């Protein structure tokens, strides 16, 4: 693991930004820097999955990755970013929690997914509009922390099917105390245990 990946994995934000700017000034390829950051994020995800890091660490890593992205991404040519797919995401109607959703988005971005973030308390119709406006989106991610929002999740899945989009779009859900029974109840395709799991599922669904 290179210096940048190690700094990100250790959450050394100031050192990392200085190192990124130093390497860019020395003519290092921005794509190489971005890929190293991705390696660091994968390591952070592994440390979170093993219990070494907590949600706060994952959030901090996501914020650092975003900071580096703001410096590096504009320097990347479109052809070099190698996007693996597009995901539409949001927290369902009746729920305003966004921490889990934002963590998943940070890790999806780090894994080269393009994400359309609809925010929180999203009506089923807004998800459908976003999927229709992004015909290349093959995954819909629904987040909710409140058990009372399971019905809204079910309603959204049904709206996707009613719109005839279920052949093109796979639906993954996550948040709180979700398990397979909620997948069965809502009619979704898969559920993620945590943010890293959601990324792995998104790769499988592509």
Confidence of residue 77 (pLDDT cuts 50, 70, 90): low
**pLDDT cut 90: percent of the chain above it:** 55
* HEC string for 85-153: EEEEEEEECCCCCCHHHHHHHHHHHHCCEEEEECCCCECHHHHHHHHHHCCCEEEEEEECCCHHHHHHH
Q: Check whether 79 has a pLDDT greater than 80.
A: no
Alpha-carbon distance of 8 to 1, in angstroms, equals 11
102-149 pLDDT per residue, tens: 878 888 887 889 999 999 999 999 999 999 999 999 999 999 988 889
Q: What dotted CATH number matches 3-80?
A: 1.10.1240.10
Q: Which of 164, 161, 184 is nearest to 173 (CA)?
A: 184
Q: Where are the domains of the chain?
A: 3-80, 83-205
- Type and span of the H or E element at 21: helix 13-25
CATH fold of the domain at 83-205: Rossmann fold (3.40.50)
Q: Check whether 81 has a pLDDT greater than 60.
A: no
Average pLDDT, the chain: 89
């Amino acid at each position: 693991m290179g210096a940048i990946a190690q700094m990100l994995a250790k959450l050394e934000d100031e050192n990392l930004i200085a190192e990124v700017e130093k390497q860019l000034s020395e003519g290092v390829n921005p794509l190489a820097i971005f890929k190293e950051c991705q390696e660091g994020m994968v390591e952070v995800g592994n440390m979170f999955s093993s219990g070494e890091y907590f949600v706060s660490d994952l959030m901090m890593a996501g914020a650092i990755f975003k900071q580096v992205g703001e410096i590096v991404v504009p320097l990347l040519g479109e052809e070099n970013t190698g996007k693996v797919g597009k995901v539409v995401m949001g927290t369902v109607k009746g729920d305003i929690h966004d921490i889990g959703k934002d963590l998943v988005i940070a890790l999806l971005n780090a894994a080269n997914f393009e994400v359309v973030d609809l925010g929180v308390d999203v009506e089923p119709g807004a998800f459908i509009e976003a999927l229709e406006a992004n015909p290349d989106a093959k995954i819909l991610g629904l987040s909710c922390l409140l058990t009372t929002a399971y019905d809204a999740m079910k309603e959204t899945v049904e709206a996707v099917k009613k719109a005839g989009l279920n052949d093109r779009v796979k639906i993954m859900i996550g948040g709180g105390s979700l398990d397979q029974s909620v997948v069965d109840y809502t009619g979704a395709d898969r559920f993620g245990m945590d943010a890293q799991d959601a990324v792995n599922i998104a790769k499988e669904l592509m």
